[in-house]
Amino acid sequence: MGELYKREYKDRKTGQKKLAPKWYADYTDGQGVRRRVALVKDKSASLAMLSELERKADRMRAGLVNPYEDHAKTPLVTHLVDWERSLANANVTEKHRILIRTRCRKVLDRTKAAFLGDLSGSSVMDALSQLANEEGLSAQTKAHTLQAVRQFGRWLVKDQRWASNLFGFLTVPAASIRADQRHERRAFSIDELTQLINTAKIGEIRRNLTGPERAMLYSVAVGTGLRVGELAALTPECFRDGWVTLGASETKNSLEATLPLPESLWRALEPWLETRPAKKRLWGDGLYTDRAIFSKCLKFDMAVARAEWIANGGDPQSEFLLWCDSKGRYADGHAFRTTFVSLLAQSGISPKELQRLARHSDPKTTLRHYAKLSDTDLERAVKCLPDLAPQKKTSGQREMIKPASAVPSAVPLLCQKGDIQRTDLILNDASPKLAEIEKTPGKTGFLAEKIKRALPDSNRGITVLQTVALPLGEGPFYIFMLGHQDSGSTVPDTQYL
């Protein structure tokens, strides 16, 4: 039962308690929620209004009334305004809020719908196709636009304005997105990075950035994988003890980012940071407000570096340091992030480590769009397979299969701190397996793990049997003897590398 009453309030002038002129009612609506509403001054009219509210609630509980009837009569534009207001209250950046609001409105405006009941999945897809034809949208942009519309549909359901998401089942086929890549990026090669950074370092001032400043900008970009906007927000205080930390307000996902720096980059960066003004952005406010400066400077430096490379004997027909190659792949500012991820992938780290360093919520994004592998990388991976060629045998001879762990193998490695050495791992009398191993004195466990990652799955039994330190030259040098853990045997006639 509903209750009709007058509320008491305290008069600010006299301090006395008084009754409000209007009547109020408490009642239970059709969804079982206790509600309080203001009625009118006349008691009879208020009683009639309360009776009508209770009647509607009873009909709704009996399934005779549509609970979304009032929202269906509300103009669509009103729902959109309320949704946009809810985005402002959520943890969404202003840039992203404007982007999804604009995308959603562009589609819904082309449906010519005035109320929610006028919308349907087919009308939205027709409007999306019309928008794509008018503005030449790629399949990926169509998918992002449709995602904004689906977000509006989810909000309608969450706010109890509609029974179900009208657009939840709408998708853009993944095959269409893969086939319609408009701006695919490639990774820089090591030679390209070296030529670019060395050329920029002695270059002239461009867009208020000196040559050394641009060289350091490119180095930090490829050494951290930070996006252009994140790079522009960096200050000297962001760096400490070989780590870089960026506040949540400056990252794309609105989460604080803390990343380790490569040792070589930190050695070059630490003295340079001491020359920069404290609490000032490293590359000025210009790059922070206009991120296109990064691409303009990069395009200029790439052209100068390529011309210098050709003058020194490089092939003019090569795609070395081209802004866009023959496959339509771009080497723009975001390509530094692609290079960062690709180099990590080539090093053999796990997908989880790769995802964490790239700061992606989904590892599919990291592997599909950022981890670029060259033909050389694929060839090196195939060489890790065991010998799959059929072996010749005499007629009637029975083939004996030896377990891999029964065949002893060993490789002595002579190394020094900081070396990156290529070596052949002789495994089970098969062809040599090429591996790149980072030698770090005093960290034999780390080295053993690096070696194990380079081995094929059939040779996981390889382990470090012995470690010997020799004081040679600038040393000490370290010799690591590898062999099978179960047999403990080594090959006596191996040679030091």
**pLDDT per residue as tens digits for the range 433-471:** 444 444 444 444 444 445 545 554 544 444 444 444 444
pTM, rounded to two decimals: 0.61
- Cα(480)–Cα(438) distance, rounded to whole angstroms? 12
CB-based contact 23:5 (threshold 8 Å) = yes
Which DSSP state fits 209? B
CB-based contact 482:462 (threshold 8 Å) = yes
- 15: pLDDT confidence band, cut at 50, 70 and 90? confident
The pLDDT value recorded for residue 299 is 95
CB-based contact 455:461 (threshold 8 Å) = no
247 has pLDDT over 80: yes
The pLDDT value recorded for residue 383 is 81
Beta-strand relationship, 17-19 and 8-10: antiparallel
- 369: pLDDT confidence band, cut at 50, 70 and 90? confident
98 has pLDDT over 50: yes
Q: What structural domains and CATH numbers belong to the chain?
A: 3-65 (no CATH), 72-179 (1.10.150.130), 190-370 (1.10.443.10), 404-484 (no CATH)
- Mean pLDDT for all residues in the chain: 80
- Cα(468)–Cα(165) distance, rounded to whole angstroms? 68
- 391: pLDDT confidence band, cut at 50, 70 and 90? low
- Cα(76)–Cα(63) distance, rounded to whole angstroms? 25
- Cα(379)–Cα(370) distance, rounded to whole angstroms? 20
The pLDDT value recorded for residue 66 is 73
The pLDDT value recorded for residue 254 is 83
pLDDT digits (tens, 9 = 90+) for 401-410: 444 443 333 3
